[in-house]
Amino acid sequence: MIDPRHLRGLASALALAAAFTAALPASAEPARAAPPARVGHAAQRAGSGQPARPARAAVVLPTALAPDAAERAAPLASALDGLLSDTAQDLGLSVDLEGRAASRSPVDEAELLERARSSDRLFIAPSLDLRGDEVELRLALASGGARSLRVRVERVERDDVAVRAAVMLRDLVAELDGAAASPPPGEEAPCAERCRGRLATPARSLGKATLAANATLYGGLVGFSIQRSSGSDDPRLLYPLLAVGAGIGLGGAIIIAEEWDVGVADAWYLGSGTWWPTIAGHLIYQGRFAEHAEEPIEERWAAGLIGGSAGITLAAMGLSLGRMSDGGALLAQSGGGLGLMLGGLVEWAARGDVQRTPIAGMGYGAALGWLAAAAAATQLDVTASEVLTVDVGALLGGLGAAALASPLVFDAPTEAQQRAWVGATAGGFLLGAGVAWCVTRPAAAGARSAGPSWNRFGLPMLGVIGESVVGSRRAPALGLGWQGAIP
């Protein structure tokens, strides 16, 4: 007989130790330090030990004006000339005032490229045009030996012209420097250079919400389990334990997501290790030990804590082997569910009595099914659609076989008839899963050309087969069809 004090003490220790420390996803990458701010090319070369190269000569041409805005934008163009000259010097360029022209007429771009090719200087050609209350600012940069211009065009408010002009010139020069410092073929550039110019970067810790939801719910369950396993039903103890447990779970999830890059699949894989072993612990104790215990309710909650703590620890060990895929996370969840059903069928077959709920068998099946699937998920490369197809095939096969063999359990069936019905159900379950796996598995290289495929005439399709239109209203038409090539 199990000693309640020993069982509750072991459950509390495992829950506190494993649930909030061993659950750290070791596969997630630690946060990297942010790259240092880019303060200039000279500072980077000085830090790397490379000798500073001479400043490049640049010519800032007078700001060109559109004919209809020559008089109104002349003061703004004069101020922009001085601003761009100062900005170019701040960017490490040596401004050559001798190459400037006095005209503010638009510069011919082909002529600008020709001038750049014939010298080793940079030519910066700004232009302005008035568009209502806004100013269209255009910057063109031509470098020596280049075959094309680098251009930036923006429409800004009059008060923002100075700021946007400085930013646009900085971006043009930085882009030119990045192209000049591009790595040789076959060598990958640093991320700071490689990712420049992207509109969006992947978010970090995409599984934060999933991890937080699972941790908060499980933390509340831990508090409730501790209260129930202690034998107390005082609400003054229950609600503080629920709040503390949920708060610790939520806070721990936030810290973990900030410290490690937790993906959605990682969070769901860890969640499978939380819930299925907890369910298995409750079922195994209720079906196997409850009738022999003095305090079955209290000890059952303690058994659930032990199962959940062990599951979190094993799931964390699985994540330490590498990142988890979406298919792997779904495989772990599926293993617990299918194992629960198979375990119940096995107990029914052993007892020969389908009228009695197979609680212990479902618990053992959920535990062993999750453990086998979680271990396989760390080694197999499967997709979520493949796992889902096998699950649907297993369920349809089991339900179909159970329906066909249902006459065996009508009226007053014998133990042999009940076992035959259970065997037929289990056989259909496994047959459906096997057929679904054969249909979804990828073909080997050259398999299609080696011979005709068994499903070359197509496969049945269940879903949307058309559309019903009545006036302006549309609705999908659901049905059964056949999809494939006509021989």
d(CA 370, CA 357): 21
Please enumerate in sequence order all residues whose Cβ is within 8 A of that of 276, keeping only pairs 6 or more positions apart, or say none.
311, 333, 335, 336, 366, 367, 369, 370
Q: Looking at beta carbons, which pairs linking 471-480 to residues 24 or more positions away fall under 8 Å?
A: none
From 193-197, 305-309, 397-401, 436-440, the region with the lowest mean pLDDT? 193-197
Confidence of residue 109 (pLDDT cuts 50, 70, 90): confident
Local structure of 88: helix, strand or coil: helix
Amino acid at 232: S
pLDDT averaged over the chain? 78
Give the HSE-up count for residue 44: Cα atoms under 13 Å, Cβ half-sphere. 10
Residue 145 pLDDT > 80, yes or no? no
What's the mean pLDDT in 325-338? 92
Determine the pLDDT at residue 445.
Answer: 45
* Per-residue model confidence (pLDDT) at position 33: 39
Amino acid at 152: R
Is the Cβ–Cβ distance between 270 and 316 less than 8 Å?
Answer: yes
Six-digit token pair at 177? 């420097």
pLDDT of 337 reads 93
pLDDT grade, residue 270 (50/70/90)? very high
Structure confidence at residue 1 (pLDDT): 44
**Two tokens, residue 114:** 């020709």
pLDDT of residue 420: 94
Taking alpha carbons only, the member of 420, 418, 408, 424 closest to residue 352 is: 418
Give the global pTM. 0.54
Over the stretch 201-253, which tens digit does the pLDDT of each residue have? 556 788 889 999 999 999 999 999 998 888 888 888 888 999 999 999 999 99
For residue 58, the model assigns a pLDDT of 83
- 218, with CB counted inside 10 A (0-12, 13-18, 19+), is buried
Contact of 311 with 17, CB cutoff 8 Å: no
C-alpha to C-alpha distance for 397 and 403, rounded to whole angstroms: 10
Higher pLDDT, 379 or 475: 379
Predicted confidence band at 98 (pLDDT cuts at 50, 70, 90)?
low
Asked if 169 and 124 touch (Cβ cutoff 8 Å), the reply is: yes
How much is the pLDDT for 332? 94
Task: Break the chain down into helix, strand, coil percent, rounded to 5.
Answer: 60, 10, 30
Q: In sequence order, what DSSP letters do the residues of 62-120 get, joined into one string?
A: PPEE-GGGTTTTHHHHHHHHHHHHHHHHHTT-EE-STT--S--SPPPHHHHHHHHHTSS
Report the pLDDT value the prediction gives residue 457, as an integer from 0 to 100: 60
pLDDT digits (tens, 9 = 90+) for 355-375: 889 999 999 999 999 999 999
Q: Tell me how long the chain is.
A: 487
Q: Are 207 and 264 in contact (CB under 8 A)?
A: yes
For residues 185-209, average pLDDT: 59
The residues, any chain, with a CB within 8 Å of residue 287's CB and separated by 6 or more, are 358, 359, 360, 361, 362, 363
Residue 326: name the closest of 263, 389, 395 by CA: 263
Which tokens belong to 146? 């280049």
Question: Which band of pLDDT confidence, cut at 50, 70 and 90, is reported for residue 487?
Answer: low
Rounded to an integer, the average pLDDT of 283-291 is 89
Tally Cβ neighbours within 10 Å of residue 408: 19
Quote the percentage of the chain above a pLDDT of 90.
31
Most confident region among 271-275, 295-299, 382-386 by mean pLDDT: 271-275
Output 14 or 459, whichever has higher pLDDT: 459
- DSSP alpha helices (H): ranges in 181-207? 191-194
- As to burial, measured by CB atoms within 10 angstroms (0-12 exposed, 13-18 middle, 19+ buried), residue 429 is buried
For residue 190, what pLDDT band results from cuts at 50, 70 and 90?
A: low
Give tens-digit pLDDT for 385-439: 889 999 999 999 999 999 999 998 888 889 999 999 999 999 999 999 999 888 8
Task: Give the pLDDT score at 399.
Answer: 93
Reply yes or no on whether the pLDDT at 135 is more than 80.
yes
What's the confidence (pLDDT) of residue 430? 93
Name the β-bridge partners of 140: 125, 151
For the record, the structure tokens of 293 come out as 């215990």
Higher pLDDT: 442 or 282? It is 282
CA angle 252, 255, 259 (to 5 degrees): 140
> Please, are residues 326 and 267 in contact by the beta-carbon 8 Å criterion?
no
Cα–chain-centroid distance for residue 28? 12
